[in-house]
Amino acid sequence: MVQDLSTLTAFIDGEPMRFNDGDTVLKFIDRHRGRGHVPTLCDAPQLEPYGACRVCSVEVAMQEDGPRRVVASCHTPLTAGMHVFTESPKIRKLRRNIVELVLTDHPLDCLTCEVSGNCELQTVAAKVGIRQVRYPSGANHLNRSKDRSHPYMTSELSKCINCSRCVRACDEVQGQHVLSMHGRGFNARIIKGLDQSFMDSTCVSCGACSQACPTSAISDVFFSKSIEATRKTRTVCTYCGVGCNLNVATKGSEVLSIQAPTDSEVNHSHTCLKGRYAFKFVKHPDRLRKPLIRYNGHFTEATWEEAYDYIAKNLQRIKEEHGGNAVGGISSARCTNEENYLMQKFIRVGFGTNNIDACARVCHSPTAWGMQKAFGTGAATNSIEDLEYTNCILITGANPTEGHPVTGSKIKQRVMKGVPLIVIDPREIELVPYAKHHLQLRPGTNVALLDMFAYYILEAGLIDQDFIKKRCENWEEFEQGLRNLNLDESERTHGVPREKVRAAAIEYASAKGAMAFHGLGVTEHSHGSKTVMTIADIAMMTGNIGRPGVGVLPLRGQNNVQGAADMGCQPHQGAGYLQVNDEANHKLYEEFYGAHMSNEIGWKIPQMYDAALAGKLKALWIMGEDVVQTDPNTEHVKSALNALEFLVVQELFMTPTAEFADVVLPAASFLEKSGTFTNGERRVQRVNAVIPPIPGTKSDGQIVCDIMQRMGIPQADYTPDGVLAEIARIVPFFKGATWENLTDQGTQWPIKEGGIGTEILHVDSFKRGLGKFHFFRFQESKEIEKHHDEFPFILTTGRILEHYNCGTMTRRTGNAQIVTEDLLAIHPDDAAKKGIESGDMVRIFSNRGEVNMKAKISTEVKPGILYTTFHFPENLVNMVTSSECDEDTMCPEYKVVAVDVEKVPASSMPKKQRMMEIA
C-alpha cells in the first residue's frame, strides 16, 4: 500500500522530511539540518520553548505556494504536510533587524569581544550577517555592576540580553527559583534572590544558569577559558551515584572547564556544583606524586620498583608465616569496575581468601542484602527516568537535593507539576516544603513507622490481591504480623500521629504507580536490612513492581558503589554475586581463574578490624577509602590499623588513613584513567581518560596489575576494554557488554548479547521466582537501650551538598570557600536549655569520645535530636559514633548515636578553633 506522504512528512525549504509526533517546527529543523541552521537566542535544548526573542522566526505554509505566515519556530507545533521556509528574504531581514536591536542594547565592543567562540550572540550576529550596528546605543544598563562574590560563578549584566534563559534554567532545570526578571522595559534586569549576590542568595551553585546564558552575562570562572580547548572528552562524574555525564574541555594536560552534555540521558545538561566545578583537586599541590615507604616510623620517597618489591616481600612473608587468610583488601567505590574487579581477583587468587570488602559495607549493604532476600536482585528495580511516569513519590531516609542533586531536582520538578511527595525523615530536608506528607519520625524507628504504613494500606483495602497471589510468597505471615500490631505502641515509638501515617499510606497505595526511593536513613541502622525488606513489602503489596513509574530505588551513594559490589568486592559473593560458599560457584571460580580459591565467607570490614586486634589479620590493602575519618568509632579503627603488621594505602592524598600505612601508593584520579562506572540505576557508563596521569602516579588498575605480576599471579597490563572482556565472561549480567557497545549513554544491566540493556527489572517474574514478604517487629537500638539515660540526645549524621564524604577532594576546591566546616544543628528549645547560641562552639560527647564543633540553631530537627555532617577531619565526628551495626550486614549505625552536648567555654577551646572564631 502506498502511504500518503503528507502523513509522514513536512518540508524544509521544499525538501520532504520525516517528522516525529510532538515536534515543534524548530525541533524538526534541528534534527534534519542540525542545531544552528536556524539561529536562536532565547531557546536552549534543555529548556521549555519560550518564544521571546523571535530570532528563530521562519515562514510556514500549508502548500508549497500557499499563503505564508511568520512564526517563532521554537514554540510552533509542526503539522503534517507543513512547508517551512528557513531562509526567505523576508525572514532574513526580520532576523537581522531583531539581532541588530539586541546588539544596540549591548556593549558595543561585542562584535569583536574576546570571549567570542563562547558567545552565542556573536555567532548569531555573524550568521544573520551583521557586522556593525546602525543605531546609537540607547542603553542605560551598560555600567551595571559585576558580581564576583562566588568562587565559581560571575555575573556581568551589561552583557545581558534579557532572554530569560538563566531564569528558566534556574526554575525548570534546578528548581531553585533564585533568578528573576525585575522591572520593565529598559529597566528590566535579572536579579538574584532579593537583589543579592550569588553568595548571599539561596543559589546552590549548580551552574545551570551559566550553561544556559548565551552571552556570558552569567558565566563560570572556568568556562571563558574553554575557548582555548584543544580537546573535549566525554566522561562520568566521580562523585555520587547519579552518574552525570560530563564534557571536559582540556588544553594539553590542563583541565579548562566542565559542562554537561545536552544529549545525556542521565543528566540532560545538568550537574551539581561538584560535577561541574569541583575538579581542581586533580592538580592540587597536595596530590601524592611518589610512592612512600615507612622506615623507622618515617615516610621516605621511593621508586615504584622499590615500593613493589617491598610490598611483594612483606605480603609473601605474611602469607607464608600466617596463611593467606591473614591478608585482606578494602576496595574502592570511587574506582572503576575494572579496577574493583582486579582488586578482588588479586586478593582472592593471590591469597586464597575472601577477605575483600568495600564501602558498601558502611553504606547500602543492607539494600543489597534486603532486596536480594525480597526480589532476588540487590539493585534498583527501575530507572530515574521513571519519574516521568509516576503518580506518587515516597522518599524514606534520603536527602536527594544534597546527596543526589540532579535526581533531587528531577524529583522537585515532578512534584512542582503536581505529583504528590511523601518524605519520611526525622529532619526537615529541603524537599519537605514541597511534600504533601512529612512523617518526622524519631531516628531509628523506621520499622515501627513502615509497619504502621503497611497496616493502613491493608486496612484501607488498597492491596493488589492479584499481584500478591500470582507473584509473591509468604503473604499470610506478613499480613498476620500487620494485623497483630499494637498501634498505640507504634505511635509512641516513632512519634508521628497515626492519622498522618494513614493519610500518607493511602496516598502511596492509591496512586496508579508509586516509586519508593530510599537512602542511608534506612540502611545505617541496626534494623537497616529489615527496613529495606519492609519497603519491598510495601511495594509488593501494592503491585508497585515491574512496570514504568513504580519500583524500589535505593539512591546508591558513591559513583561506583553499585559496580564495586557487582564486581565481587564483598566477602560472601564473588564477581557477579555468586555465593562463594556454594559448591558449584566455587568450582566455577576455581576453573575460571585456574587457581585455588577459598570457599569460606571472608571478613567484612568491621570483622577485619576485630581480626586485626585479635592478631589474626596481619596485612591490609586499602584502595581509595579513608576509613579513619569515615568508619565509625575512630579510636577503634585507629587501634585496629595500628595492630596490623603491614598496611598498603592507595590514594590521591595523604589522608588520616594513609598516615597509618607502611606503603602509600599514589593513584590517578577519575580524570586520568579509563574504565566504567555503574550508577545507581545499574547503568554501566564509560569513563574516558581526559588527561594523562599526573607525573609520578598510576591508575589503580595498573597498580594492581603490576603487583599481581610482581607476585607471580598471571595478569596482563590494565586496559579497560581487556578487563571488561574478562568481566563479561564471568559476570552473568555483563554477558553482552563490550567497550564499544556501551555507547555514550551507557547500558543498564543485565546486558544481553549485542549490548541490549534492561531498564526495568522483575517485569514478569522476580529474579528469585516469587517475591518474598518478610514481617519484622520494631526493636529498640542497643545504642539507645545502653546509653540513652546517660547521653539523652540522639545525634544523626549525614551530608551537605557542597562536600563529599571524607572531603579530601571537595575541600581542595572552591567548594571550601562556600562551606567551611561541619556544623551541629540543634533545636532552639534545646539550645535555650543549654545556653547555646548559633556560632557557639559546643562539645558533643558519647561513650566513645568527643568532638567540638560550632552550633547552628535550627528547627530542621525536633527537640532531642541533633544533626551534623562528617566532611571535615578537623571535626572528625566519627569519634563519637558507635560500633553498633545492622544485624544482617554489619552496616554501621551512623544514624542513631546517643550523645550529650554542652557549650564549650571560649577559654577551653583548642587553639586552632579559637583562631577560627576570632577570624
Ligand X SMILES: Nc1nc2c(c(=O)[nH]1)N[C@H]1C(S)=C(S)[C@@H](COP(=O)(O)OP(=O)(O)OC[C@H]3O[C@@H](n4cnc5c(=O)[nH]c(N)nc54)[C@H](O)[C@@H]3O)O[C@H]1N2
User: Looking at 103-217, which runs of residues are DSSP E strands?
Assistant: 146-147, 153-156, 179-182, 189-192
User: What is the smallest separation between the CB atom of 555 and Mo ion, expressed in angstroms?
Assistant: 10
Applying CB under 6 A, among 329, 624, 750, 814 the residue interacting with ligand X is 624
DSSP annotation of 660 reads G
Describe the chain by its helix, strand, coil percentages, rounded to 5: 35, 20, 45
Applying CB under 6 A, among 11, 299, 793, 894 the residue interacting with ligand X is 894
* Site residue total, ligand X (CB under 6 A): 61
Nearer to Mo ion, 327 or 363 (CB): 363
Set of cell numbers at residue 587: 568450582
Q: Which stretch binds ligand X (CB under 6 A): 541-549, 709-717, 748-756, 795-803?
A: 795-803
Set of cell numbers at residue 163: 532572554
Applying CB under 6 A, among 240, 454, 818, 851 the residue interacting with ligand X is 240
Set of cell numbers at residue 86: 528557513
Q: Are the beta carbons of 363 and 518 closer than 8 angstroms? A: no
Burial of 609 (0-12, 13-18, 19+ CB in 10 A): buried
Binding to ligand X, residues 345-364 (CB under 6 A): 359, 362-363
Set of cell numbers at residue 604: 567484612
- Please spell the DSSP secondary structure of 864-910, one letter per residue: TEEEEE---TTT-GGGT--S-B-TTT--B-TT-EEEEEEEPPGGGS-
Residue nearest to Mo ion (CB): 557
Binding mask 361-380 for ligand X (x = CB under 6 A): -xx-----------------
Please name which of 504, 501, 495, 528 lies closest in space to residue 393, comparing C-alpha atoms: 504
Applying CB under 6 A, among 38, 206, 623, 664 the residue interacting with ligand X is 623
CA distance 499 to 888: 32
Please name which of 635, 354, 395 lies closest in space to residue 504, comparing C-alpha atoms: 395
User: What is the smallest separation between the CB atom of 557 and Mo ion, expressed in angstroms?
Assistant: 3
Judged by CB under 6 A, does residue 875 bind ligand X?
A: no
Binding mask 406-445 for ligand X (x = CB under 6 A): ------------------xxxx-x-----------x-xx-
Q: Which stretch binds ligand X (CB under 6 A): 246-254, 518-526, 737-745, 882-890?
A: 518-526
Q: Are the beta carbons of 69 and 25 closer than 8 angstroms? A: no
Q: Is the dihedral of CA 243, 249, 251, 257 positive or negative?
A: negative
Binder of residue 746, out of Mo ion, ligand X, none (CB less than 5 to 8 A by kind) = none
Binder of residue 598, out of Mo ion, ligand X, none (CB less than 5 to 8 A by kind) = none
Cis-peptide, bond into residue 750, ω within 30° of zero: yes
Binding mask 329-368 for Mo ion (x = CB under 5 A): ----------------------------------x-----
Judged by CB under 6 A, does residue 521 bind ligand X?
A: yes
Judged by CB under 5 A, does residue 757 bind Mo ion?
A: no
Judged by CB under 6 A, does residue 381 bind ligand X?
A: no
Please identify which residue in the block is written with the cell numbers 504533601. Answer: 436
Binder of residue 30, out of ligand X, Mo ion, none (CB less than 5 to 8 A by kind) = none
- Provide φ and ψ at 855, rounded to 5°: -95, 150
Judged by CB under 5 A, does residue 818 bind Mo ion?
A: no
Helix (H) / strand (E) element for 794: namely strand 793-798
Residue 403, SS3 per DSSP:
helix
Binder of residue 424, out of Mo ion, ligand X, none (CB less than 5 to 8 A by kind) = ligand X
Binding to ligand X, residues 632-651 (CB under 6 A): 650-651
Encoded amino acid at 223, one letter? F
Please name which of 234, 229, 265 lies closest in space to residue 248, comparing C-alpha atoms: 234
Judged by CB under 6 A, does residue 798 bind ligand X?
A: yes
Q: Which stretch binds Mo ion (CB under 5 A): 174-182, 395-403, 552-560, 678-686?
A: 552-560
List beta partners, residue 191: 180
Binder of residue 804, out of Mo ion, ligand X, none (CB less than 5 to 8 A by kind) = ligand X
Judged by CB under 6 A, does residue 550 bind ligand X?
A: no
Q: Is the dihedral of CA 627, 629, 630, 632 positive or negative?
A: positive
Helix (H) / strand (E) element for 125: namely helix 120-128
User: What is the smallest separation between the CB atom of 878 and ligand X, expressed in angstroms?
Assistant: 5
Applying CB under 6 A, among 797, 852, 875, 882 the residue interacting with ligand X is 797
Applying CB under 6 A, among 150, 334, 437, 774 the residue interacting with ligand X is 334
User: What is the smallest separation between the CB atom of 871 and Mo ion, expressed in angstroms?
Assistant: 13
Applying CB under 5 A, among 557, 576, 602, 693 the residue interacting with Mo ion is 557
Judged by CB under 6 A, does residue 630 bind ligand X?
A: yes
Encoded amino acid at 438, one letter? H
CA distance 574 to 357: 11
User: What is the smallest separation between the CB atom of 651 and ligand X, expressed in angstroms?
Assistant: 5
Q: Which stretch binds ligand X (CB under 6 A): 67-75, 368-376, 623-631, 719-727?
A: 623-631
Nearer to Mo ion, 38 or 535 (CB): 535
CA distance 232 to 226: 9
Nearer to Mo ion, 250 or 560 (CB): 560
Applying CB under 6 A, among 56, 99, 327, 398 the residue interacting with ligand X is 398
User: What is the smallest separation between the CB atom of 649 and Mo ion, expressed in angstroms?
Assistant: 19
CA distance 244 to 506: 34
CA distance 524 to 73: 52
Nearer to ligand X, 172 or 425 (CB): 425
Nearer to ligand X, 148 or 284 (CB): 284
Applying CB under 6 A, among 160, 870, 898, 904 the residue interacting with ligand X is 870
Nearer to Mo ion, 325 or 396 (CB): 396
- C-alpha dist (Å) from residue 444 to 580, 644, 850, 862, 892: 32, 34, 22, 14, 12
Binding mask 809-848 for ligand X (x = CB under 6 A): x---------------------------------------
Q: Which stretch binds ligand X (CB under 6 A): 477-485, 571-579, 782-790, 802-810?
A: 802-810
- Please spell the DSSP secondary structure of 415-477, one letter per residue: HHTT--EEEE-SS--TTGGG-SEEE-PPTT-HHHHHHHHHHHHHHTT---HHHHHHHEE-HHH
* Longest Cα–Cα distance in the chain: 92
CA distance 272 to 427: 22
Q: Which stretch binds ligand X (CB under 6 A): 79-87, 122-130, 258-266, 401-409?
A: 401-409
Binder of residue 537, out of ligand X, Mo ion, none (CB less than 5 to 8 A by kind) = none
Helix (H) / strand (E) element for 60: namely strand 57-61
Judged by CB under 6 A, does residue 446 bind ligand X?
A: yes
Binding mask 672-701 for ligand X (x = CB under 6 A): ----------------------------x-
CA distance 262 to 420: 28
Other Cβ atoms within 10 Å of 551 Cβ, number: 25
Set of cell numbers at residue 117: 567562540
- Please spell the DSSP secondary structure of 670-692, one letter per residue: GGG--EEEE-TTSEEEEE--SSP
Binder of residue 878, out of ligand X, Mo ion, none (CB less than 5 to 8 A by kind) = ligand X
Applying CB under 6 A, among 12, 103, 652, 730 the residue interacting with ligand X is 652
Interacting residues toward ligand X by CB under 6 A:
240, 332, 334-335, 359, 362-363, 396-399, 402-404, 424-427, 429, 441, 443-444, 446, 519-521, 524, 555, 557-558, 623-626, 630, 650-653, 655, 667, 669-670, 700, 796-799, 801, 803-806, 808-809, 870, 877-878, 881, 894-895
Residues that bind Mo ion (CB under 5 A): 363, 557
